């Protein structure tokens, strides 16, 4: 009963923050879309889609690995291994971030991107976010593993959106907002978020850690980091590939249309995202205890709850999407964004229906199976994007992303049933 109450409390805490972050992020997007216009907003969105790809070596698999390992070490009271894991993770992020920045700025200097105009000139500035993203991922993963998802998510869900909104709104008010300024706003937000995340991480960490020696299990961590990183790689590609290929093969206006559609899709998957954040450490514990009945119960109830929460919003966006886009983003976006929105929203609703299959596989040590499903999906996504975008623009990108998402979920549901005997979904 106490565990159930704790889960409900944490779910409500993360849920409230997630719900607060939505209007904040939406207002920021509205200001950017209306002030910059479709072309410049598309340039900004394209660069912001590239940053998660560039940051993958330091943020991709790191938080998932640390969350799983910290949950395991906390359960077994292996605090020396916990300390060694954090030292190794911070060292990895610092070294790799430095190499990525040197590489990005070196290429930018040689190719003239640092002094160019247009979207590519924004990339060297945006790349400065990489070390803050990586260090934040370490803190977030460790804090979640300690069973504190509210503290882990607060910097990302509350602090960063507020800081970025204040920056964007302020520069828009003074008439100086343009894509480069918007990127600086994101960089400033990442820095402040890192500082707050560091303070919260120090607060929740067990006091006895400072007195213990460090123990390393480098071989285990390295072998687990690769599949987790590959999972993050293909997952991020699946999420961003539509915008990225549109940025290369389509127009900046089509990029902005796809960004608006993805914002709507993010609203649909919100309930499942919240549940996964809260549920992950408890999935680890149920699996470690070999309590498959408890695991099945969590999977079914979480999928049922998230789907029932997402369904009404999905129907509203599909039926009234054009009017909502025009009201929120402006009339110039309503025609170009509506059908991409319909496709993305429908695919994300199916994603929510399938529940937490990917998270359960990863948290139970079956991350390689998750990787297989996502790898197949990303290949389908890339092939369809390249084939459809030249003819159908943002609608083709949305269909590619949606079809890949559906394929990925079906594969993961099959693996979850075959490997653990657990049925995904609300039924």
Q: Compute the mean pLDDT over every residue in the chain, rounded to the nearest whole number.
A: 85
Closest CA to 141 of 78, 64, 85, 61: 64
Q: Residue 225 region, left (φ>0) first, then alpha (ψ -120 to 50), else beta?
A: alpha
pLDDT above 70 (res 146) = yes
Q: Residue 192's pLDDT is what?
A: 95
Is pLDDT of 226 > 80?
A: no
pLDDT at 11 > cutoff 70: no
Give φ, ψ of 350 to 5 degrees. Answer: -65, -40
Per-residue confidence band for 10, with pLDDT thresholds at 50, 70 and 90: low
Residue range 219-243: mean pLDDT, rounded: 77
pLDDT of residue 392: 92
Q: Are 315 and 387 in contact (CB under 8 A)?
A: no
**Alpha-carbon distance 325 to 333, whole Å?**
7
pLDDT in tens, 328-380: 888 889 889 999 999 999 999 999 998 888 888 877 878 778 778 888 888 99
- By CB atoms closer than 10 A (0-12, 13-18, 19+), residue 331 is exposed
C-alpha 275, offset from chain centre: 14
- CA dist 321 and 317 (Å) reads 4
DSSP label of 355:
-
**In degrees to the nearest 10, what's the CA dihedral of 354, 54, 227, 7?**
-50
Decide which of 29 and 279 is more confident: 29
Among the residue ranges 34-38, 47-51, 147-151, 179-183, the one predicted with the least confidence is: 147-151
Start-end of H helices in 205-291: 218-249, 252-268, 270-288
DSSP string, 24-83: HHHHHHHHHHHHHHHHHHHHHHHHHHHHHHHTHHHHTSHHHHHHHHHHHHHHHT-HHHHH
**Mean pLDDT within 77-99:** 87
């Amino acid at each position: 009963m106490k565990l159930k109450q704790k889960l409900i409390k944490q779910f409500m805490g993360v849920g409230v923050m997630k719900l607060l972050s939505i209007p904040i992020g939406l207002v920021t997007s509205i200001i950017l879309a209306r002030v910059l216009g479709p072309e410049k907003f598309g340039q900004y969105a394209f660069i912001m889609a590239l940053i998660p790809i560039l940051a993958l070596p330091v943020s991709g698999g790191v938080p998932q690995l640390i969350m799983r390992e910290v949950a395991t070490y906390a359960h077994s009271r292996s605090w020396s291994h916990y300390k060694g894991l954090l030292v190794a993770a911070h060292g990895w992020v610092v070294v790799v971030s430095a190499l990525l920045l040197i590489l990005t700025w070196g290429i930018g200097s040689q190719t003239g991107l640092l002094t160019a105009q247009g979207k590519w000139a924004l990339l060297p500035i945006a790349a400065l976010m990489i070390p803050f993203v990586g260090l934040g991922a370490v803190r977030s993963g460790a804090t979640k593993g300690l069973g504190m998802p509210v503290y882990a998510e607060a910097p990302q869900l509350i602090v960063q959106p507020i800081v970025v909104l204040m920056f964007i709104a302020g520069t828009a008010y003074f008439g100086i907002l343009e894509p480069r300024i918007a990127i600086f706003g994101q960089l400033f937000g990442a820095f402040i978020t890192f500082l707050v995340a560091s303070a919260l991480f120090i607060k929740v960490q067990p006091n006895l850690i400072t007195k213990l020696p460090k123990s390393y299990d480098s071989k285990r961590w390295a072998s687990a980091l690769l599949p987790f990183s590959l999972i993050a790689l293909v997952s991020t590609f699946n999420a961003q590939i539509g915008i990225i290929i549109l940025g290369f093969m389509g127009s900046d206006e089509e990029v902005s249309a796809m960004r608006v559609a993805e914002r709507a899709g993010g609203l649909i998957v919100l309930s499942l995202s919240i549940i996964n954040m809260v549920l992950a450490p408890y999935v680890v514990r149920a699996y470690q205890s070999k309590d498959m009945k408890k695991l099945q119960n969590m999977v079914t109830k979480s999928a049922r709850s998230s789907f029932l929460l997402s369904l009404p919003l999905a129907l509203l966006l599909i039926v009234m999407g054009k009017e909502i886009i025009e009201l929120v983003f402006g009339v110039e976006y309503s025609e170009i964004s509506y059908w991409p929105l319909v496709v993305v929203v429908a695919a994300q609703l199916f994603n929510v229906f399938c529940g937490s299959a990917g998270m359960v596989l990863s948290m139970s040590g079956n991350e390689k199976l998750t990787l297989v499903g996502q790898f197949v999906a990303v290949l389908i996504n890339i092939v369809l994007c390249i084939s459809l975008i030249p003819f159908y623009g943002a609608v083709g990108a949305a269909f590619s992303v949606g079809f890949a998402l559906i394929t990925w979920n079906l594969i993961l549901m099959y693996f979850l049933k075959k490997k653990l005997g657990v049925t995904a979904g609300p039924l």
